[in-house]
Every structure is written in C-alpha cells, then in structure tokens.
Amino acid sequence: MSAPVTCNSSEYRPVQAALNRQQHLRILYDADQLQRPVPGWFEVDYWEHLQAVVHISGGRGGVCRVQTPSGAAALKRYLRGGQMSRISRDRYLFTGWERCRSFREWRLLAHMRDLQLPVPQPLAALCSRSGRRYQAALLTRWIDNAVPLHQRLEQVSDAQADGLFSLVLQTIADLHAAGVYHPDLNFGNVLIDASDSVWLIDFDRARLLDQASRRHRLALPSMHARLLRSARRLQQGARLQPQHVLRLQELLVKQQD
C-alpha cells in the first residue's frame, strides 16, 4: 500500500473550535485563525464594499474568494438545487444548531485536518435562524494556485497523468480509511495545486461512517464510480481526453483485483 497523502506538515495547524452565540445565529470558528468573526463576513456585499472579493464560478451558488484579516478564504453559501430550489433557494428546516449544514461540514473538515488529510482548513461557519428555517455559509482557507483535476490533465504528459491519477486514488483510499464517505467526488471537487499535490473539497454531503458497517464497505467503490462517471461526462463535453478516461478506468479495475 502506498504511503498516505497528507497535508504539508509546515502548513498544518490544529483547529481550535470556538462558538460565537447571538440571539438568532451562531458562528463556529477556529480561534487560532480568527478573532470573533462577525455575521457580515458571510455576505458577499460586505467584502465587495471592502473591494476584497473575487467571484469564482462553481457549485450551485458559486464560491467567492475573499481577503479576510487571516488571509484569502473561500466563501460558500449553501443553496438548494433541483425542484427544492423553487420552494426556497437558501433556507433549510432548522432541527438544531449542530445539525446545520455549515456546522456539520466545518466539524468534518476539522476532524479530517486533525488526521492531516488534504482538505481545506475550516475557518468559520454561520448558521442564522429565522423561525423554523435557517441559512448557512462557510469560510475555508483558500488553496492557492489550485485547479480542478481535468484542467491539470490538459497540461501534462500521459506519464504525468498516470502519476496524478495514482495520487488521487491514494487520497480517496486515505479518506475511506478514515471512515469518510464523499458522495459527490467528481473531478471538480479534486484540486491539484502548483506542486501537483491533491486536495479534496466540497464536503457538504459527506459523512463519517462506522468502519465496521456495510455502508463503509460500499463507500470506496461508490466514490470510485462517482469519479468515473464524472470523467465520462467531461469526455462527452470534450473537456477530457478519451485516453485519460480509459486510463482511470484501468487503474480502478486494478484496485479492485
């Protein structure tokens, strides 16, 4: 088995969870990185007023790169997709502060960072309640000079592509070994930075599983299948070369043997 893929040790810092309680909202944050973030930090308008935001497309609502006092960060608002977006674009049923989507993702990221898995550092999560509904947002450390996997594959040789695929599959194996299931592990959620290190992002729907459970046993082939479906869709859209899809498929078959 290959060595686990971990965060750069010089960049790793343990997460120090702190909670800012206000009447109708809570902000969960890393006290080692931020000093009591305010609700405005989770609004694009706040950063636009400071001329400290760059809009980045992606996901249902997109992600903004904002320049916080602690450095560059990705700001994500939780937005619905599909039919449910017609009912409410950004409001969810409130069932408790800790069950808020942003809090769950923040805590999962913090857990994975403690294991030194290559995921973004969680900075702050907002849960703002209004009656029986809530809105949510998340701030994570920006990963510098990183692009989605398919964009990096356009720039490398076939031999280098093999190396990248091997790193990606090892990272997914490490994730699974830690009990984490990422149900939306598409090429856009796999980033490659300037040193060709692998980063996994967008853990909104991810879960920690009991490692003795049947769900955990099925999680790794499920993540592999999701990655391969993403590759085929990119190929259909002429955004990924056929040889890359074929090579990924071959490597996945090898892992199953």
Q: What is the DSSP string of 92-146?
A: EE---GGGSHHHHHHHHHHHHHHTT-S-PPEEEEEEEEETTEEEEEEEEE--TT-
What the chain holds in terms of domains, given with CATH numbers, is 18-141 (3.30.200), 147-256 (1.10.510.10)
Taking Cα atoms as reference points, which of 59, 78, 70, 87 lies closest to residue 30?
A: 70
Catalytic residues: 184
The secondary structure of 1-57 as a DSSP string is -PPPP---TTT-----EEEEEETTEEEEEETTT-SS--GGGG-HHHHHHTT-EEEE-
Residue 106 and residue 253: Cα distance in Å, rounded? Answer: 34
Q: Which H or E run includes 77?
A: strand 71-77
Distance between CA 45 and CA 40 in Å, rounded?
8
Identify residue 183 by its one-letter amino acid code.
P
Residues making up the chain, counted from first to last: 257
- Closest by CA to 13, choosing from 98, 70, 97, is 70
CB 246 within 8 A of CB 231: no
Q: Are strands 71-77 and 122-130 parallel, antiparallel or unpaired?
A: unpaired
- Phi, psi dihedral angles at 59 (to 5 degrees): 70, -175
Buried b (16+ CB within 10 A) or exposed e, 26-41: bbbbbeebbeebeeeb
Q: Report pLDDT for 14.
A: 83
Residue 8: predicted pLDDT:
57
| DSSP β-ladder status, 122-130 and 133-141 | antiparallel
Six token digits for residue 109? 């990221």
Whole-prediction pTM: 0.92
- What is the pLDDT, as a whole number, of residue 53? 87
pLDDT for position 165? 98
pLDDT tens over the chain, length 257 residues: 466 666 654 566 789 999 999 999 999 999 999 988 999 999 999 999 999 988 776 555 568 999 998 899 999 999 976 555 456 678 999 999 999 999 999 999 999 999 999 999 999 999 999 999 999 999 999 999 999 999 999 999 999 999 999 999 999 999 999 999 999 999 999 999 999 999 999 999 999 999 999 999 999 999 999 999 999 999 999 999 999 999 999 999 998 87
